[in-house]
Chain A
Amino acid sequence: MSTTLNHLIQGIPSLGSYAQVMAEMETVLSEPHSTLADLGNVIEKDPDLTARLLKLGNSSFFGFHSRLETVAEAVSVIGIQQVQDLLLVSSVVELFDGIGADLADMESFWKHSLACGIGARCLAIARQMPKAEKFFVAGLLHDLGRLVLFSRAPNQVVEIFRLYQSRRMLLREAEVCILGFDHALIGETLMRSWQYPANLVSAVACHHHPMAAGVYQLESSIVHLADYLVHAMQMGRSGERFVPPLNQKAWERVGLATNILESVIRSIDEQIEIVQEAFLRVPDKAALGHSTTCAQQAT
């Protein structure tokens, strides 16, 4: 089993074409006398990244009322960590750019993932978690393992969906039947190989079983709840046709009142469009096509 799992993730780079920008940012950040303007100069070398950063900084996602004109201003508002998150997420989007339209509707897949990121961030803020922004990345990457499957094991994906269509079952159960493991384990393994922080890895690894996340139960529970909400809203598609089971203990672990859910759903609805614009490249219309995907056939 582990050979197949390792084979699946072998050689997947963590940052793609963004590695250069990230490395230059690290260099600037490590210099004691560097300024936000220096950081801005590094980012401005990438016009696409610059445009998206300004768009995000000026959006309702951050809720600031004065107009941001420069990258340095945007970094000061968004925060250095969030700029790095933007790079990280952009690199993952780029990394899995070529997935065939016959396997998955990627626009819909990313919509689901982004909505989960927004939902996880909102829940973390409501829970007054430190570094709540990190939950956006955790939510966004929760189904990373499915991207690996789509890009590295298309034949098995066809088999998985064939089984999934044949009876009432969850998609991850079909994954286990065909592969011996599910997308959560693939995502966990890949993120470990990228040396991502343990709390982020656990949140992705245990988003279906948050109580198994040991010291990171709370982080995993938040992503689990966000995933549940976004499935219920039918905001995009990850391939799963059902709203997956809710782990009641996860809800109790997070400890919020049920009346918070309304504002989380509203925030997802309000922010999804701007976040899609900021984080996703313009979809390749030719690649999107109009053919029916495996995921759509499952419905």
Chain B
Amino acid sequence: MPNVKLESLQGGMIVSVDVRNLDNMLLIPAGCALNGRQIDILSAWGIAEIQVEACGDSEDLPDLLQQLPPETLKQLKRDLTAAFWEPVDQSPVQQEVFNLVLRRRAKQALQRERLPP
């Protein structure tokens, strides 16, 4: 359960320990998925960092893609590459978007095939 500084918090992170102000008033309960307004609230109360659950979602890309039949994966990559107007290997951000969207499509494909993601 890492401590994350306010400036590094992102929407969707799961709060692992109740967040309270100096008067012990509960601001955000444990288990809550952070949204932008709550990050603003933390900022307003001068809270510098909070504990969030480790996010392992970004590390499952190879596993997830390996669950797909090779032909399906190849087809997904081909379709996705063709959908982009320009090649996606021109910058890290394009590559990141491509990988994230590929994984999202892989999840959808697995759900369609009723395989466990």
Give the B-binding residues of A (Cβ under 8 A).
Answer: 60, 62-63, 65, 121-122, 124-126, 128, 132, 170, 228-229, 232-234, 241-246, 248, 251, 258-267, 269-270
Contact = CB atoms under 8 A, between A and B. Distances in A.
Given A232-B98, A233-B104, A63 B10 contact: no
A121 B11 CA distance: 11
Given A125-B36, A243-B85, 4 more contacts: A242-B83, A245-B86, A248-B93, A263-B11
A249 to B, nearest CB: 11
Contact of A65 (B29, B58, B94, B97): B29
B86 A263 contact: no
Contacts of A258: 92-93, 96
B85 to A, nearest CB: 4
Interface residues of B, number: 33
A244 B29 contact: no
Interface string B18-41: 000000000001001111111110
Contacts of B36: 121-122, 124-126, 132
A170 B85 contact: yes
Given A243-B84, A258-B96, A63 B101 contact: no
Contacts of A251: 91, 93
Contact of A232 (B10, B38, B84): B84
Contacts of B40: 125
Contacts of B4: none
B113 to A, nearest CB: 19
Nearest to B57: A262
B97 A261 contact: yes
Contacts of B35: 60, 62-63, 125, 267
Interface in B33-78: 33-40, 43, 57-58
